[in-house]
């Protein structure tokens, strides 16, 4: 495979760092990041996106933005990590873009490996979590369940355990910027755009400081938006269930008719009617609920609201657009 020579020397790199309540990590993080990245390329920018933090991340961000090569964006409120990453991707100007968490969980020792993979011709290098050892059983089980549900219902396979620790080529970034949807399930979008991709195993470190913002409820929300955005399986499922139930109902009706005509059994069956009524009401409500999930998403899309609103933009990056 011919390697683009501009990937080998003097390429520019944009590092996208979403930060929500990361005041205890940010200064040290940017300092360490700078040391690591400057060994990879002298031409870089660090884009910090403050996702409506409630601590003093904003003050620290503004202060950091005085330094060279830092771009500081601050949202008008908390829009969520997916929106923060989208903002970073929209504003990045480098030939390559690195997405990395601000809490030291994504090991920086891996950056040179990601870079070499990109230089050898891969357009996207994504970190694959190999050890979920220090996550709760529930989170691990939920993640596995989610991935198996997703892979059953989509045309584009979404790699398992691949997170947002990624190195993207400009081509991929431009493709991502073309996707108009509001429902930004990033893991799905990365898979959807395609390009020559490779997974790179890594063991996430413990959070340096602070707490994880992803509670069980937000993970369930994320999973739901992933499933509704990338799979129509829940909708199609009801066609099969409905068909099956109808078949059973018809067979039972035939049986009842013969039973009455041939054996002369009087038609009884209050319990059958009540049970059937309750079962089918339940099934119908459930399927209407699933329809509602999708209609809600359509509603969100047609409103065409922006994904995020930027309250502050301090640009000290030296990269040209």
Q: How far is the CB of 226 from ligand UDP (least distance, A)?
A: 14
Choose, by CB under 5 A, the member of 14, 23, 53, 105 that binds Mg ion: 105
Q: In this chain, which of 81, 91, 110, 184 binds ligand UDP, going by CB under 6 A?
A: 81
DSSP letter string, 97-121: EEE--TTS-S-GGGHHHHHHHHHTT
Query: Per-residue DSSP letters for 226-277?
Result: HHHHH--HHHHHHHHHHHHHHHHHHHHHHHHHHHHHHH------HHHHHHHH
In the list 45, 58, 95, 103, the residue contacting ligand UDP (rule: CB under 6 A) is 103
Q: Is 318 helix (H, G, I), strand (E, B) or coil?
A: coil
| Residue 51 within binding range of Mg ion, rule CB under 5 A | no
CB of 107 to Mg ion, least distance (A): 12
Nearer to Mg ion, 82 or 101 (CB): 101
Q: Give the CA diameter of the chain.
A: 92
Nearer residue to ligand UDP within complex by CB, 160 or 213: 213
Determine how many CB atoms are found less than 10 A away from the CB of residue 290: 15
| Nearest residue (CB) to ligand UDP, 75 versus 118 | 75
Distance CA(80)–CA(273), nearest Å, equals 48
The residue count of the chain comes to 321
What, of ligand UDP, Mg ion, none, does residue 45 touch, CB below 5 to 8 Å by kind?
Answer: none
Candidates 95, 101, 123, 169: give the one binding ligand UDP (CB under 6 A): 101
CA–CA gap between residue 245 and residue 282 (Å, rounded):
13
The owner of tokens 């870089």 is: 44
Q: How many residues bind ligand UDP (CB under 6 A)?
A: 16
Question: In this structure, are residues 154 and 86 in contact, taking their beta carbons and an 8 Å threshold?
Answer: no
Q: Which lies closer to ligand UDP via its Cβ, residue 50 or residue 69?
A: 50
* Residue 81 partner contact from ligand UDP, Mg ion, none using kind-dependent CB cut-offs of 5 to 8 Å: ligand UDP
Tell me the two tokens of residue 118: 């990109």
Per-residue mark of binding to ligand UDP, 4-23 (x: CB under 6 A): --------------xxx-x-
- Residues that bind Mg ion in the complex, under the rule CB under 5 A: 101, 103, 105
- Residues that bind ligand UDP in the complex, under the rule CB under 6 A: 18-20, 22, 51, 78, 80-81, 84, 101-103, 105, 212-214
């Amino acid at each position: 495979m011919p390697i683009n020579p501009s990937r080998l020397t003097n390429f520019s790199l944009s590092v996208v760092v979403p930060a929500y309540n990361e005041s205890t990590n940010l200064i040290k993080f940017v300092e360490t990041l700078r040391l690591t990245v400057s060994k990879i390329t002298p031409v870089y920018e660090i884009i910090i996106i403050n996702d409506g933090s409630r601590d003093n991340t904003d003050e620290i961000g503004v202060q950091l933005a005085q330094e060279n090569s830092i771009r500081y964006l601050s949202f008008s409120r908390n829009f969520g990590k997916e929106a923060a990453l989208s903002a970073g991707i929209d504003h990045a100007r480098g030939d390559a873009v690195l997405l990395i968490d601000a809490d030291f969980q994504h090991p920086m020792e891996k950056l040179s490996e990601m870079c070499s993979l990109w230089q050898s011709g891969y357009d996207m290098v994504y970190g694959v979590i190999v050890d979920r050892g220090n996550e709760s059983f529930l989170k691990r089980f939920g993640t596995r369940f989610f991935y198996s549900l997703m892979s059953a219902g989509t045309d584009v396979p979404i790699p398992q355990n691949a997170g947002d620790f990624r190195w993207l080529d400009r081509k991929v970034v431009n493709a991502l910027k073309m996707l108009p949807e509001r429902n930004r399930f990033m893991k799905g979008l990365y898979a959807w755009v395609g390009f020559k991709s490779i997974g790179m195993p890594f063991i996430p470190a413990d959070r340096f400081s602070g707490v994880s913002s992803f509670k069980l409820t937000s993970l369930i929300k994320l999973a739901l938006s992933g499933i509704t955005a990338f799979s129509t399986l829940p909708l199609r499922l009801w066609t099969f269930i409905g068909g099956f139930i109808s078949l059973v109902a018809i067979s039972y009706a035939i049986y009842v008719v013969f039973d009455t005509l041939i054996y002369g059994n009087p038609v009884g069956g209050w319990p059958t009617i009540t049970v059937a009524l309750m079962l089918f009401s339940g099934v119908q409500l459930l399927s209407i609920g699933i329809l509602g999930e999708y209609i809600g998403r359509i509603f969100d899309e047609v409103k065409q609201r922006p994904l995020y609103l930027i309250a502050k933009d301090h640009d000290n990056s030296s990269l040209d657009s």
